[in-house]
């Protein structure tokens, strides 16, 4: 099913409409999907008027949106058309900032396998499962700007 989800996200019009309807703040701030496969997701957020703070850098909340999307797209892909349906929720967020974000930042999460395993365990056991995903934000020069640890909870829905 991940391939079907991946195909949907590859359609820029459909995915842009999804962002606009479901994540309007991310859409307006310029958060974009750059790469998605079963293991890794890369998103980006630009430094522009709608994403700035008074200190001439990207507002921390805009960075958090891009980081969360890099983890959440993996989760959405692995839960797409799942039977039983899976509920998912962010239950914890930690962030560290290392350098001022003054240009486009790319957030990468490579925890797709851990996300899939947690979802599969929830389906098998009927119990909720959590997984901590790490999203690292780097500028185009490869400098580490921020790191987010986002903990997701997954639970198979009962009928």
**Whether the predicted pLDDT of 57 surpasses 90:** yes
The number of folded domains in the chain is 1
Structural domain of residue 120, as residue ranges?
A: 34-61+78-159
What's the pLDDT band for 159 if we cut at 50, 70, 90? low
pLDDT value of position 131: 98
| Within-domain flag for 92 | yes
| Within-domain flag for 134 | yes
> What distance in Å separates the CA atoms of residue 88 and residue 78, rounded to the nearest whole number?
11
pLDDT single digits (tens) 58-93: 999 999 999 999 999 999 999 999 999 999 999 999
CATH of the domain at 139: 3.10.129.10
Q: How many helices (H) and strands (E) does the chain have?
A: 5, 6
| Within-domain flag for 24 | no
| Within-domain flag for 2 | no
| Within-domain flag for 13 | no
pLDDT value of position 158: 79
| Within-domain flag for 154 | yes
């Amino acid at each position: 099913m991940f391939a079907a989800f991946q195909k949907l996200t590859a359609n820029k019009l459909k995915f842009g409409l999804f962002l606009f309807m479901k994540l309007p703040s991310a859409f307006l701030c310029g958060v974009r999907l750059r790469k998605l496969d079963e293991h890794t997701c890369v998103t980006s957020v630009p430094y522009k008027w709608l994403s700035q703070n008074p200190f001439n850098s990207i507002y921390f909340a805009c960075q958090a949106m891009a980081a969360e999307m890099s983890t959440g797209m993996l989760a959405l892909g692995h839960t797409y058309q799942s039977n039983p349906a899976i509920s998912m929720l962010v239950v914890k967020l930690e962030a560290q900032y290392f350098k001022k974000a003054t240009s486009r930042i790319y957030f990468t999460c490579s925890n797709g396998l851990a996300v899939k395993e947690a979802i599969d365990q929830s389906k098998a056991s009927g119990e909720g499962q959590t997984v901590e995903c790490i999203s690292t934000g780097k500028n185009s020069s490869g400098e580490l700007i921020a790191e987010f640890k986002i903990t997701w909870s997954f639970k198979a829905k009962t009928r």
